[in-house]
Amino acid sequence: MIRTLLILLMLAVPAQAIQPDEVLDDPALEARARAISAELRCVGCQNESIDFSSAEIARDLRLLVRERLVAGDTDAEVKAFMVARYGEFVLLRPVFSARNAALWLAGPVLLLIGAALSFAFIRRRPAASDAPLSAEEKARLDDVLKD
């Protein structure tokens, strides 16, 4: 029973696509490479990090990250290199800047506009009347209910 549960839990964890031939000999460099790879988007798969993508372009990017680390680049330099080469799209968590402020602010602004419109619509709607039905309305309702 416990063995089956452990196997199911192992299957629920996403598999990393890193191949054995990509792993660096230095554990510290490999840890840095994994941390950077988790923050970079696969340009072919879109919303998947290169760490988990099995696409060829993701493999090339993983190798490029490791190549830059072995060459002595810092983590920030590796990310800057990738952004210079592929644009800000390659970052899974892009930085807030004047260029992309509209994208960052569009969601909250649209939510506030929707809430304001909903509030205005509800306020303008006439309140339900508790007044009794007139004789004409009662007769018409009786006709509808008899059919």
Distance (Å, rounded) from C-alpha 47 to C-alpha 45? 6
Residue 18's pLDDT is 64
In the CATH scheme, what is the homologous superfamily, with its name and number, of domain 12-114? Cytochrome C biogenesis protein (1.10.8.640)
| Beta-carbon count within 10 A of 86 CB | 15
CA distances from residue 56 to 23, 33, 50, 51, 60 in whole angstroms, order as listed: 16, 17, 10, 12, 6
Residue 55's pLDDT is 86
Distance (Å, rounded) from C-alpha 83 to C-alpha 64? 13
pLDDT tens-place string over residues 33-90: 889 999 999 888 878 888 888 888 888 999 999 999 999 999 999 999 999 998 888 8
- CB within 8 Å of 143: residues ≥ 6 apart: none
Distance (Å, rounded) from C-alpha 11 to C-alpha 22? 23
pLDDT tens-place string over residues 125-135: 776 677 788 89
Residue type for 53, please? Answer: S
What is the torsion angle, in degrees rounded to the nearest 10, for the CA atoms of residue 59, residue 65, residue 71 and residue 75? Answer: -170
Average pLDDT over the chain, rounded to whole? 83
The model carries a pTM of 0.59
Confidence at 146, pLDDT banded by 50, 70, 90 = confident
| 49, 39 Cβ separation under 8 angstroms | yes
Confidence at 13, pLDDT banded by 50, 70, 90 = very low
Domain spans in the chain, listed from the N-terminal domain onward: 12-114
Q: Is the pLDDT of residue 27 over 90?
A: no
Distance (Å, rounded) from C-alpha 67 to C-alpha 81? 12
Q: What share of the chain is helix, strand, coil (3-state, %, to 5)?
A: 65, 5, 35
